[in-house]
Amino acid sequence: MPTASINLRDVGRRFGATRALAGVSLDLKPGVTGLLGPNGAGKTTLLRLLATALPPTQGQVSVLGLDPEVPAERTGIRRRLGYLPQEVGFPRGFTAFAFVDYIALLKEWNQPGARHAEVRRVLGLVGLSGLGAKRIRAMSGGQRRRVALAQALLGSPPVLILDEPTTGVDPEQRVVLRTVLAEIARTSVVVLSTHQTEDVAALCERVIVLDRGRVRYDGPVTDLTGQAAGRVWLADEPDPAASVSWRTGTGRYRNVGSRVRDGVEHVAPSLEDAYLLLRGGSPEHEPTEEVAS
C-alpha cells in the first residue's frame, strides 16, 4: 500500500481583498503534524483546503496523489478523509449515535450492521461508548467535541484533518485522545491545529507555525523547543530585557527573550516558550491588514 501523503506547492487563498494564506509549500507524511499560530494566522483556512472544503486561489494541492480540483478525484479524497471542523453544529434533537450514524451514511456506510458497529467503535474511541443514546443538546461542551471528533474517525481514514480537537475536553480525555491519535498516525497523515502547546509537545513529531498566512517555522518539535534553550529564565521581577514575562504559580516571573543578561537563573524551555520566542514575545499578535478565516 502506498504511503499516505499530502503535498502543497505555493498554495494561497484569498477572500476578496483579504489574503488568508500565501506561498505555502508542504509535504506531509504519516504521523501527527501540529499547526500553531495566533488567531487569524490562517490555520483554519489551511485545514479547510486540505479537507477539500475550500479550493485554493493559487498553487496546487495534492492529497493521496489526487487533485481536489478534479471532481472525481475530490470524491476519491473524501472517501479517505476524516475532518473535524473548528465548529460543528448538531441538528436539533439528535443523539450522539444518530449524528455519527448520519455522517456514516454520507460516507457510504450503507450496510446497517457494519455501520452501527463502526459508529459504536468510534464512539468508544472517544470515550462515549455508554452515551450513544444521549441527546447532544444535553451533553457538556467536551462531550459534544468528542461526538464531532468521532465522526471524523469513521473508517480509520488515511488522512485526518482536525481543527482544535481537544477544545473543551478534560485532561483525562485529552490523554486518551492523544493515545488514539498516536495510534492512527502510525499509518495516517494527521494534521491538527490547536492553541494547546502541550498537546503538540505530547503528540506531534512535527510542528508548523503559521503567521499572517505564511509558514514561519516547519520542523521537529524538539528543534523548535531547542531554539529557546538558554533564553528562558526565572526572576523575582519581570525582566525588561525579556520579550515576554509572566508570573508563575510560585510567585516568580518566567522571562522569555533573546537578550539574556548574565547571572540569571536559566530553566529548561517548553514548547510554549519557544513558540512565544518565535512570535517575538507577542502571545496574541493580530494581523493588522489581513484577517484570515
Partner 1 sequence: MTGWHLDDATLRRYVERTDSLAEGASAEQHLLTCEPCRAQVNAAVDVIDLAAVWDRTRDAIEVPRPSVFERLLRAAGLPAHEARLVAVASAFRGVWLTGAAAVLAFAALAAAIGHDHGVWLFLAVAPIVPCLVVASSYDPWMDPALEPELVTPYPALRLILLRTIAVLALALPAVVLFGLVIPGETPFAWLLPAAGFVAVVLAASTWVSPLRAAIAVSCVWLALVSLLATRPGSPDAIIQGRAQAGFLMLAAASFVIFILRRRQLRQLRPWR
Positions in the binding site for partner 1 (CB under 8 A): 51-55, 71, 75, 78-79, 81, 83-85, 87-95, 97-99, 101-103, 105-108, 110, 112, 116-117, 120, 132-133, 148, 151-152
Beta partners for residue 234, in sequence order: 254, 265
Residue 100 vs 215, nearer CB to partner 1: 100
Surface-to-core class of residue 291, CB atoms within 10 Å of its CB (0-12 exposed, 13-18 middle, 19+ buried): middle
Task: Supply the minimum distance, in Å, between the C-beta of residue 17 and partner 1.
Answer: 16
Task: Supply the minimum distance, in Å, between the C-beta of residue 203 and partner 1.
Answer: 22
Task: Supply the minimum distance, in Å, between the C-beta of residue 94 and partner 1.
Answer: 8
Residue 173: which residues within 8 A CB-CB, separation 6 or more? 126, 127, 142, 146
Residue 88 vs 256, nearer CB to partner 1: 88
Residue 89 vs 263, nearer CB to partner 1: 89
Task: Supply the minimum distance, in Å, between the C-beta of residue 154 and partner 1.
Answer: 9
Residue 5: which residues within 8 A CB-CB, separation 6 or more? 27, 28, 29, 62, 64, 65, 189
3-state helix, strand, coil in the chain (%, to 5): 30, 25, 40
Residue 33's closest CA among 182, 235, 173? 182
* 111: its cell numbers: 450496510
Tell me if 191 sits within 8 A of 43, measured CB to CB: no
Task: Supply the minimum distance, in Å, between the C-beta of residue 118 and partner 1.
Answer: 12
222-254 as b/e: b if 16+ CB within 10 A? eebbebbeebbbebeeebeebbbbeeeeeeebb
Residue 116 vs 214, nearer CB to partner 1: 116
Residue 113 vs 171, nearer CB to partner 1: 113
Residue 55 vs 280, nearer CB to partner 1: 55
Residue 88 vs 209, nearer CB to partner 1: 88
Task: Supply the minimum distance, in Å, between the C-beta of residue 161 and partner 1.
Answer: 9
Task: Supply the minimum distance, in Å, between the C-beta of residue 257 and partner 1.
Answer: 40
